[in-house]
Amino acid sequence: MSSLSHKSPPPPCAIVIFGANGDLTKRLIIPALYNLARTRLLPPSLSLIGVDHNKKTSEEWAAQLKAFLAQTLTRNNEEVDEALWQQVASCMTFLSGDFEQPDTYQRLKDLLAELDEKQSLNGNVLFYMAVADRFFGTIAGKLGEAGLVTSDAKRFRRLIVEKPFGHDLASARALNACLLKYLKEDQIYRIDHFLGKETVQNIMALRFANGLFEPIWNRDRIDHVQITVAESIGVETRGKFYEATGALRDMVPNHLFQLVAMTAMEPPVSFDAEDIRSKKAEMFKAIHPLTLSDVVRGQYDSGIVGDEKALAYRAEANVSPESTVETYAAMRLSIDNWRWAGVPFYLRTGKRLSKRYTEIAIRFKQAPHALFRETPMEELDADWLILRIQPDEGIRLRFNAKRPGPAMALESVAMEFKYKDYFKQAPAVGYETLIYDCLIGDATLFQRADQVEAAWALVEPVLEGWANTTPRHFPNYAAGSEGPSAANDLLARDGRSWRGIK
């Protein structure tokens, strides 16, 4: 796992982007490469090849990407730095081709050989599948058949796979089998942009580099853990995609479970990628199988988000007016190991909630009350450690302190650390660290095949149960609210409640 400060540029290589004209390339990949140029972390010799079905020249492709980058930077009151942009643009070559045709891969092979000879790339290639998931198996297979993913001690050939890593357990296993037919596991980088965020990476530093926290990071001191990924936006233009996916498939087996893994994993023997990924895999094996009583689903109705009216999900474009697809999911996880036995993990994610934010909130057990009999229980709040992932990345510790005055009255106060206050951060879209790690071969922040399949195995009973039962009260929460009341009941039956989304 790499922090980008004090790092050396990666080795010379070619980066091949399948889906060169797609939204992901424009919004995240090219801005990330531009930002790596800003921090002098692009390979010293680089060739950037875009593959897509459109007919255009390399110059037209570069101009279109520059125009989109300029729009993005303008929103942040920046302008394109011409010198930095030229570092990226001068490397760009566009190859028009159909992803399903063998001829595309033969022409790509010839182009890579030509550029390698001109630029001394040492045979290193990073393939990026920035395409719809239906092409993952096709592209991997065609690359394998063309002999483009053969790696050895002298050169690397790596493949980045975007989520979703399947739509259920069977499809995840099929995708992994397809990828592993042509590549070794250490060549495959399954990317999850959540893991590129500083606060997520900081979880391990917080736990393992501080004698203050690791001794209390267990069932003796922690009452429960809440993980929230809240979005204020609706499905926007993705109605067709969402109708086939839903909140649980879209967010839980990847984003939320990765946050659980970072929080709950046992200490690794080193920060080697395989040691860390093995500890994550062990954690997934320890999670107790989910039942329908452990989960809640919801769908948003019309309402007010911020100061604007919001449509109901069923009124969104490309959504069935009788849709039973969930836009909200909450669940209770139990981890059956020594560290976490009896400590529930509560997870929730949803669209059209009151605010956009992501946090991991760790509630410590209440101190004995004998000394504070005169203090009302509602004022004697328990201690919280809150890891804010977005927006305003940082860490907050809440604890009780005496309120000034003659009486022994307590009040909850906070100590807070924000990244923006302590560190000068280079502009980032969240993919810089992940792409850099792929270029240097550090797989710490990427999922292994067994993790992917273990995550899908956990939610498979829920997906099957929901498929066989029709939700009775959809829509069941207003846009701009904190979700369905049934989610509150999920915690209330344990004598707990959600932190407010604020």
Q: Residues 394-422, buried b or exposed e (16+ Cβ, 10 A)?
A: bbbbbbbeeeeeeeeebeeeeeeeebeee
Look at residue 3 in the predicted model and tell me its pLDDT.
55
* Rg of the chain taking only CA atoms, in angstroms: 24
The residue type found at 474 is: F
The answer to whether the beta carbons of residues 151 and 187 sit under 8 Å apart is yes
The token pair at 429 is 């879209």
Residue 21, number of CB atoms within 10 A of its CB: 18
**413 forms bridges with which residues in the sheet?**
399
C-alpha angle 455/490/295, rounded to 5°? Answer: 30
Look at residue 330 in the predicted model and tell me its pLDDT.
98
Residues 6 or more apart whose Cβ sits within 8 Å of residue 464: none
C-alpha closest to that of 411 among 375, 367, 371:
375
| Cis peptide, bond prior to residue 391, ω within 30 of zero | yes
C-alpha closest to that of 279 among 264, 290, 294, 293:
264
- Each residue's pLDDT, cut to its tens digit, for the chain (502 residues) gives 555 656 789 999 999 999 999 999 999 999 999 999 999 999 999 999 999 998 999 999 999 999 999 988 888 788 899 999 999 999 999 999 999 999 999 999 999 999 999 999 999 999 999 999 999 999 999 999 999 999 888 899 999 999 889 999 999 999 999 999 999 999 999 998 878 777 787 888 888 888 888 899 999 999 999 999 999 999 988 899 999 999 999 999 999 999 999 999 999 998 888 999 999 999 999 999 999 999 999 999 999 998 899 999 999 999 999 999 999 999 999 999 999 999 999 999 999 999 999 999 999 988 776 555 555 555 556 789 999 988 888 899 888 777 787 776 677 777 888 878 887 766 677 899 999 999 999 999 999 999 999 999 999 999 999 999 999 899 999 999 999 999 999 999 999 999 998 7
Residue 280, number of CB atoms within 10 A of its CB: 22
Contacts 24+ apart (CB under 8 A), 412-418: 412/381, 418/392, 418/393, 418/394
Q: Residues 355-368, buried b or exposed e (16+ Cβ, 10 A)?
A: eebbbbbbbbeeee
Domains located in the chain, CATH noted: 13-162 (3.40.50.720), 195-428+463-492 (3.30.360.10)
The residue type found at 195 is: L
Please state, in angstroms and rounded to a whole number, the distance separating the CA atoms of residues 400 and 322. 49
Look at residue 18 in the predicted model and tell me its pLDDT.
97
Look at residue 380 in the predicted model and tell me its pLDDT.
59
Please state, in angstroms and rounded to a whole number, the distance separating the CA atoms of residues 167 and 250. 9
Please state, in angstroms and rounded to a whole number, the distance separating the CA atoms of residues 73 and 85. 12
Is 167 assigned a catalytic role? no
Please state, in angstroms and rounded to a whole number, the distance separating the CA atoms of residues 30 and 194. 18
Please state, in angstroms and rounded to a whole number, the distance separating the CA atoms of residues 285 and 278. 11
- Give whole-number Cα distances, 158 to 64, 107, 402, 442, 453, in Å: 27, 19, 57, 11, 21
Q: Is 254 helix (H, G, I), strand (E, B) or coil?
A: helix
**380 φ, ψ (degrees, to nearest 5):** -90, 70
Please state, in angstroms and rounded to a whole number, the distance separating the CA atoms of residues 391 and 142. 40
- Give whole-number Cα distances, 79 to 62, 71, 84, 202, 427, in Å: 16, 9, 11, 31, 12
CA 95 to chain centre: 30
C-alpha closest to that of 209 among 443, 3, 474, 465:
3
Please state, in angstroms and rounded to a whole number, the distance separating the CA atoms of residues 455 and 254. 8
Beta strand 384-390 with 357-364 is antiparallel
The answer to whether the beta carbons of residues 455 and 282 sit under 8 Å apart is no
The residue type found at 396 is: R
Please state, in angstroms and rounded to a whole number, the distance separating the CA atoms of residues 153 and 138. 27
Indicate if the alpha-carbon torsion angle 322, 325, 326, 327 is positive or negative. Answer: negative
pTM over 0.95: no
Q: Which residue is catalytic, options 255, 288, 369, 473?
A: 255
Stated as kind and residue range, the H or E segment containing 140 is helix 136-145
Look at residue 141 in the predicted model and tell me its pLDDT.
96
Look at residue 198 in the predicted model and tell me its pLDDT.
75
Q: Residues 263-279, buried b or exposed e (16+ Cβ, 10 A)?
A: bbbeebeeeebeebbbb
The tokens 């993790």 sit on which residue? 451
Maximum distance among all Cα pairs of the chain, rounded to whole angstroms: 83
The residue type found at 153 is: A
The token pair at 363 is 């509630």
